[in-house]
Every structure is written in C-alpha cells, then in structure tokens.
Amino acid sequence: MILTVTLNTALDVTHHVPKLIAHTTHRVTAVTERPGGKGLNVARVLAALGHEVTATGFAGGRTGAVVRELLADSPQVTDALVPCAGTTRRTLAVVDEASGDTTQFNEPGPQISSAEWAEFLARYEALLAGAGAVALCGSLPPGVPVGAYAVLVRAARAAGVPALLDTSGEALRRGVAARPEMIKPNAAELAELTGSREPLQATRDARRRGAHAVVTSLGPGGLLAATAQGTWQAAPPRALTGNPTGAGDSAVAGLLSALTEGLDWPARLTRAVALSAATVHAPTAGDFDPRTYEQVRGSVTLTVHEGAGAARPLISPSRARAGRD
C-alpha cells in the first residue's frame, strides 16, 4: 500500500469558458468537481497505475462531505481522512478554451485544532505500519504547525517507510532537514529554498540540506534529479499545450510508484515525465491521457550530468523503457 497525505484537502471545481476576459460575464460550457489537494491527485494517479492507495489528511463541513462522497467513486483509494470541525476549502480553476490557459483560485483551508492535529498524528502513525511509501503533499491548513512535515518525515523514517515531500516555503525548509527520501520542488520553490536560480546547482544544494534525492520540475524542460547514484535530466520530446494543473502531482505518482516497484532512476524519471505530460492533455487534475502517456514514455530524452556545465546523453528512449515499465 502507498499512503498519501493531504493536510489541506480541497474540492476542485473546474469551469471551462470559451474565452476568459476580465471585467465581463462568462457563460460556462462545462463544470467538473473532483476531490482535490495535491495528495489526493497523487492518489488517483497511483490507483490508475494499479497501486493500492490509502489517502489521509483532513476533511470537514459540507465541502468535506462532498470530497469524501466523490472519493468513494475511486475504488482503489481507501478513505482514511480525519474529520475536522472546519470546512474543507474549495479551489476554482477557470480554463480558457481559446488559449488553453488556466486561472486558479485557492482558498486557505479550515482551522485545525491541536486536538485534531493529535488525532491525525495517531492515525498517520498507525497507517505507516502497512505502507510501502508515503507522499506528503501540499500546503498546510491554518493551525497545523509549520514544522508538521518534519514531524511526519521523522515518523516515516522511524517506521522504515520512504517519504516523498512535495511542499514549499518554510514547510519545505523544515521538512528537508528531517531527511526525507525525496523532495520534488518546482524551480521557483527550489530557488526560495537554496537562494540559487541555477537549477543544477540549486538541486545539488537542496540535496546537501538533507534530502536523499531532489527532483526538480522544470516545466516544459522536464525533471532534473540529483541523487546518490548520479544526476539526470529527463525531458519530453516537445512542449505540450493544455491544462498544467496536477502535472506535478502526476510526476510525484510516477516517482513514488516506480520507487516501490524497484525501478532505477532513469526509469523513474521517464515514467514521471510521461505522466506529467499526459496530465497536461487531461481535462482535470488527477487524470492523465493514456495515449499521450505511451507516446511520451517512448520518446523521453535522458541526459546525465557529470558536473556543473557538463552533460552527455545517457540512454535512448527505447532502452529507457525496455523491461522496466
């Protein structure tokens, strides 16, 4: 079982409009509602890949009830969310069909009491006993200590469970110091953590801060990974247009699923990049387009970095996928 943690769960509402124009009224052509928050997106992709998943975090109020009702429609995802007195947040995405761009509005989340946080910790530690890996994802709702992810990483390490941390800001800085198995920031989050805007240097700097591996999202440039086994960059064959919401979460699912399956780093990165690209072509976060996934997986470019400013091609796409995925 793979455990996903979404402390700030959400009801993701996506509106599609023909063209988004400021200061005007819009006629919505389509609306979708999905259980959201980064960890729940990860959980759905993991389930689609055939993994047994348990999802925990907080859910409360009428919005939380809708999230849990919709989550029940994902049969391979077990609901282990902890009730809270506050109301689960909503996120609103508006997709401009003319340009393909998405505008996002994220609410802050419910206030979590100390008693609710203690109840969550007890649930989390119990769930770790049956987990092969854990994804710790997203923002912290009000009331949760800023060092929460550091606490969760340490608990995972004590239980012998590899933890992947995907958050930002001070929560990321403290979480890295607890030595997670992997972190997956984007370029802006990495620059904030390390003070460096050069991705290769920043990725290696972040690893020296405590993470065993650092995988950085470079948008259309794919993923850059600094690990104990080496440093690689994996990139899709071309930039894809569509809705990028949830693409990073699909990359997390790819990395974590490949880790639990014992795949090597080139195969992990190939899967993660292909899933991320396939999510851009999907209509909602937490989904991916299977055809795009297979097409991109067969043509990911992998490069090994031997030092700052030095790189060479690693392996061909066909060898990257042969016998590993």
Are 66 and 10 contacting, i.e. CB atoms less than 8 angstroms apart?
no
What is the distance between the alpha carbons of residues 213 and 325, in angstroms, rounded to a whole number? 21
What is the DSSP secondary structure assignment for residue 74, as one 8-state letter? -
* Tokens of residue 298, six digits: 């067969």
Q: 3 CB contacts (<8 Å, ≥6 apart)?
A: 53, 54, 55, 56, 127, 128, 131, 133, 134, 135, 161
Identify residue 263 by its one-letter amino acid code: L
What is the distance between the alpha carbons of residues 26 and 4, in angstroms, rounded to a whole number? 36
**Ramachandran quadrant class, 260 (left: phi over 0; alpha: psi -120 to 50; beta: rest):** alpha
Q: Which of 12, 166, 249, 289 is catalytic?
A: 249
What is the distance between the alpha carbons of residues 215 and 252, in angstroms, rounded to a whole number? 9
Three-state DSSP at 227 gives strand
Nearest in space to 176 (alpha carbons), one of 187, 165, 186, 160: 165
Are 225 and 213 contacting, i.e. CB atoms less than 8 angstroms apart?
yes
Question: Does residue 249 have an active-site annotation?
Answer: yes
What is the distance between the alpha carbons of residues 3 and 304, in angstroms, rounded to a whole number? 31
Q: What per-residue string of b and e applies to 185-211 under the rule 16 or more CB within 10 Å gives b?
A: bebebbbbbbeeeebbebbbbbbeebb
**Ramachandran quadrant class, 60 (left: phi over 0; alpha: psi -120 to 50; beta: rest):** beta
Catalytic annotation, residues: 249
